[in-house]
Structure 1
C-alpha cells in the first residue's frame, strides 16, 4: 500500500499550521506595556538645568499686577511721605563730636538751651570708641555755631585724637540749599545720559522692542527704589544718587544677559514650528535663572559686608547710604530683569503679524499631531499637516499603512508574479 504523504503535502500541511498559529497569536490580546514613570527632578535640579519647568511668561499678567502694585505703593509713599533729604540737598548745619558717655537726650537739651529751638535730628553713628554724635539743624550763623561748640565742650568735654579733652574734636559744616540744587540737577543729567546711552546700545545690538522693555524695567527700578527710601525714611544723600546709578548699571547688565539668551533661542523662529515665541522666551528665562541668582548673591554679599563695616565698625554715614541703595537696587533689579523686562518683550512681540502667524501655525500643527494620534491617518489629514508646516519644520511627518492580519482559518495567499499574476513560489516576492 502506497504512503499517503508526499513532499508537497508536507509543505502544504506546514503552511496551514503556520497560518493557524499566526491566527491564534493574532486573536490573543496583547497586554499594553506600562509606561515608564517620568523621572522626578527637585526644585534645585530644575533651577540648575534650566529645562523650562518654571512658567514665567505664561503668568505674565500676574507679574504685571504685582509690578503695578509695587509701583503704585511707591508713588503713593513718595507723594504722601516724601523723602528725608540729607544736608547736601536740604541745606543746614551739621555738628559732630566723639560720643564718649553722651546720650541723645542730653545733647538735645544743650542745643535747646543754647540756640532756643530743637535740632532737626540727633543720632549716634557707629559703636565703641569710634561712635560719634551727629547733630543736624537748620542753617546757623557763625555766632550760633560757635556758642553751640562752647556749650557742647563745657558739658561733655570730648576727647581729641591724643585722648585729651579738646574743643577741636567738635566739627561743624554748613551747606546751602543752592549746593543741594546743583547736586540734584547734575544727578538728573547723569540719569538721563545713562538711559540714552543704554537705549542706544540695546537698539543697535538687539532690537527696539528690547529697548522699550529694558527702559521700562529701569524706570521701574528707579521708582520702586525711591519708594522704598520714602517708606523706610532712609536719608537721601549724594551717595544715594551714586548708588542709584550703580544699580541701574547692574539692572541693565542682568536684563541684557536674559535678552541675549532670548535672541539666541528665537533666532529664525519663523522657520520652526515646535515652540512659540513666548515658549522660547520662557525657556531663555529658565536657562538664565541660575546666572541671575548667582550674580545677585555675589553682588549682595560685599554690599552687606560694606553695611556692617559702615554702620557697626566705622560709623561712616556716607558708606551706609551707598550700601543701602545698592542692596535695595540689586534685589529690585533682579526681579525686574526676570519678571518684567522679558514678559513685556514677549507682549510687544506678540502684537506683530510675524509672531501671530507663527503662533497660529504652531497651534495648528499641534492640533493636527494630536488628531493623528487619536484617529487613523487619511489622505486629507496628510494634506492638512503639510499645509500647516509650510516647508518650515525640521521634522518629517509620514504615514505607514498597517499590515493586514489574515482571517482565522483562511487559506494563505501565495506571492504572485506582477506580469502573469500567477503564484511564483518565492517568499517575499510579489506586487
Structure 2
C-alpha cells in the first residue's frame, strides 16, 4: 500500500530536524553567556537565599518610595535597602538582619511619618538558613531530574531519557541565565517556577517521544534518513497539541505577570520565560538529540511480518 495517506495526516509540513541547528546555536550562545554571567556576577539572590530582613507593611493609604526612603534615613537604617511602594502595601528588603531595636525604630518612624495604622510582617533569614534553602532548592531539582531519568528509561529507553533530561535542564538553565544576565531577583517562588517549568517541559517531550515510538513500529527501515522522517512526522502530528497547551498556560502566566501582585512577579516572569524556552526545546532540542543518539546505532531492518493465511 502507498504511504501517501499517512503523510497527508501530518498538519505541519516542515523539516524540524533541519531547523534544529539554528535553535541549537541560539541555546549554546545563551548558555555560554549564562555561564559567563554566573561566573562573574552570580545570581541576584533575594532575602530567601541570603541573610537579611524583609519588612512587609500593610498601609491604609498610599506611600511613595521617597517617603519610605526618608523614614529609613530618619531611623538611621540602610539607605540601600530595596523598597517597593504601592497603594496598600510597602515592601522593604534589608541586606542585613535587623535587630529588635532597629525594628522598633522603623515601626515608630513609619507610624509617625506615613501611617499610624500600619501593620507589619517581618521575615528574617540568617546565614545558615539561607545556605540550607539554597542546598534544598538544588537538591529538589536534582531529585526531580533523577526521577524523570528513571521513569523515561523504564517507559522508553536510555536515549529518550537522556534527551528528555537534557531538554528540561536546558529550559531550567536558560531561565537561570536570563535572571543572572538581567540581574533579576531569585527567591523561593523562582525555584517553584523552575520546578513547574521542568514539569511542563517533560510533559511535552514525553508526548512527542510517545508518538515517535508509535511511528517507529511502522517504519520499514531505521536508517538515519528514515529516522529523520519519523521524527519530523511525529513532531508534526503533536504540534497542535503542544502549542495549544503551552499557549494556554502562557496566557495565564502573562496575566499574572501583568496583573498579579509584586510578591509573585518573579514567579510569573520565570514562568513566561521558561514556557517560551520549553515551547521549542521539546521540538528542536530533545527530539533531534534523540535522533543523533539513535543514528549512531547500526541501521536495522524492521522485523519481517508474519505471512497471512
Unaligned segments of structure 1, at least 5 residues: 1-45, 159-164, 359-389, 394-431
| Counterpart residue number, 2:25 | 65
- Structure 1 residue 193 and structure 2 residue 151: aligned? no
The CA distance in 1 between the partners of 2:53 and 2:69, in whole Å, is: 15
| Counterpart residue number, 2:91 | 134
Q: Verify the 8 A CA contact 1:91 1:175 in the aligned structure 2.
A: yes
Query: How far 1:252 sits from its partner (Å)?
Result: 0.4
| Counterpart residue number, 1:206 | 156
Q: Verify the 8 A CA contact 2:222 2:299 in the aligned structure 1.
A: no
Q: Verify the 8 A CA contact 1:304 1:323 in the aligned structure 2.
A: yes
**Superposed CA offset, 1:339-378 (max 9, x none):** 10001111111111126xx6xxxxxxxxxxxxxxxxxxxx
User: Which one has a bigger Cα radius of gyration?
Assistant: 1
Segments of 4+ moved more than 4 angstroms: 270-273, 390-393
Query: How far 1:239 sits from its partner (Å)?
Result: 1.3
Query: How far 1:101 sits from its partner (Å)?
Result: 4.3
- Structure 1 residue 148 and structure 2 residue 106: aligned? yes
Give the 3 Å change call, closer, same or farther, for CA 116–198 of structure 1 in structure 2: closer
The CA distance in 1 between the partners of 2:287 and 2:174, in whole Å, is: 18
Q: Verify the 8 A CA contact 1:67 1:340 in the aligned structure 2.
A: no
- Structure 1 residue 96 and structure 2 residue 53: aligned? no
The CA distance in 1 between the partners of 2:93 and 2:232, in whole Å, is: 51
- Structure 1 residue 278 and structure 2 residue 236: aligned? no
Query: How far 1:99 sits from its partner (Å)?
Result: 7.2
- Structure 1 residue 75 and structure 2 residue 35: aligned? yes
Number of residues paired by the alignment? 297
Query: How far 1:113 sits from its partner (Å)?
Result: 2.9
The CA distance in 1 between the partners of 2:46 and 2:228, in whole Å, is: 46
Query: How far 1:271 sits from its partner (Å)?
Result: 4.5
The CA distance in 1 between the partners of 2:122 and 2:27, in whole Å, is: 44
The CA distance in 2 between the partners of 1:94 and 1:67, in whole Å, is: 36
Give the 3 Å change call, closer, same or farther, for CA 266–52 of structure 1 in structure 2: farther
Q: Verify the 8 A CA contact 1:95 1:134 in the aligned structure 2.
A: yes
Query: How far 1:392 sits from its partner (Å)?
Result: 6.7
**Superposed CA offset, 1:239-259 (max 9, x none):** 111121111011000000111
| Counterpart residue number, 1:15 | none
**Superposed CA offset, 1:229-277 (max 9, x none):** 123332211111112111101100000011111111122535489x611
**Superposed CA offset, 1:369-399 (max 9, x none):** xxxxxxxxxxxxxxxxxxxxx9979xxxxxx
The CA distance in 2 between the partners of 1:272 and 1:190, in whole Å, is: 38
Which structure would you say has the larger RCO, counting Cα contacts within 8 Å and 6 or more residues apart?
Answer: 2
| Counterpart residue number, 1:17 | none
**Superposed CA offset, 1:26-80 (max 9, x none):** xxxxxxxxxxxxxxxxxxxx9x963452111123333321221121122222223
The CA distance in 1 between the partners of 2:69 and 2:37, in whole Å, is: 29
| Counterpart residue number, 2:119 | 169
Give the 3 Å change call, closer, same or farther, for CA 145–63 of structure 1 in structure 2: same
- Structure 1 residue 223 and structure 2 residue 173: aligned? yes
Residue 75 of structure 2 aligns to a residue whose secondary structure is helix
TM-score, length basis structure 2: 0.87
Which residue, 257, 261, 269 being the options, matches 1:324? 269
